[in-house]
Structure 1
Amino acid sequence: MGDQFRPLDDKQISFIRDQQLFFVGTAGAEGFVNVSPKGMDSFRVLSENRIAWLNLTGSGNESASHVLENRRMTVMFCSFDKTPLILRLYGNATVVHERDPEWQELVGLFPDFSGARQVFLLDIEMVQTSCGFAVPYFEPQGERPTLARWAEKKGKEGIVEFQKKHNLKDLNGRGTGLFESELSE
């Protein structure tokens, strides 16, 4: 059994800032559970009880549809270096889109990524740490430039076209709320 905390403490915040990879888990009331790896300087600790992460345009948009249905989200970090640790943040999330008033302030916390799709805010209800003794050693070799290059090549209009084709429904057919027009249907 891991140790449970609330709120985040300085040591945990420092650990989070040192990580280059995190995982996000969400689920609707029914259907598939989604777990996604994230990277690319897309995570921020806003306070001891709140975090934000920037979601970039990709092949699916599961987290968005799940959070619209129920706000539960888990974010997990693993240490792959000499000091083993797994840290999980459990809480309730909200989605902020480009059309929302707080978008500019939140997206400004991150590098200017082409293809920025949403910012997720997570209000932390519990922090849990566990040993991570079974997590193998890995050394990062750097970020993959593929997604950034793809988004830059597509441009704003190309990304919107891609999102309309691939990001409006999740794997279970539920809407993602990506575009305002989608919400009125």
Structure 2
Amino acid sequence: MTFRRFRALPPLIVGAALLASCAASGPFPSLAPRAVERDLADSTAPIPPCLKDGQQAPESASRPAPPPAATVEPADPTLPARLDALKAKAGEGESAFVKAIDTASAAVSSAGAAGSESWVAAQQAVSRAETARAPTLDALSDLSALAVAAAQRQANPADAQALQGAIEAVQAIADRQAARIREVKAPLKSP
């Protein structure tokens, strides 16, 4: 070997050592049949090759216990009052928003060039309108939290339907408010 070949040897050794250190260590996944493979073996579906010829799954890979049967709760007698309160909160937010957005619309229509005093006043009026949406958005957030809790505890279907109806009603208000803000803000140009 020539000297040039020896010079290339140390980087190759270092590279091989680095690659060897990249090998995974620790527990490896089991090669036992997965639950889906065991389930297929019990049906008329084709049997996976790992289960053919009478091979048995190891004892440690026994089937998981079936999930407990879901129990449906009785109707919540307080839910209608809570939903009415949240819808009323959203309605209050809508009333405040309508007043604020009308003011903002007037300010935007009379706004001057970007950066002018009237433009700043219009921006502030739009910000006040966005802030006026807070009760509606809070009500929507509270309704969403109720929906998550109801889903986790398998709520009564009548309660779930009433909750869904309230969410859809408040979401429609929030969507209209967002669309109106975009419409009013559109003429305002950034400086």
Relative CO higher for 1 or 2, CA cutoff 8 Å, sep ≥ 6?
1
Structure (1 or 2) with the greater strand fraction: 1
After TM superposition, the score normalised by the length of structure 2 is 0.17
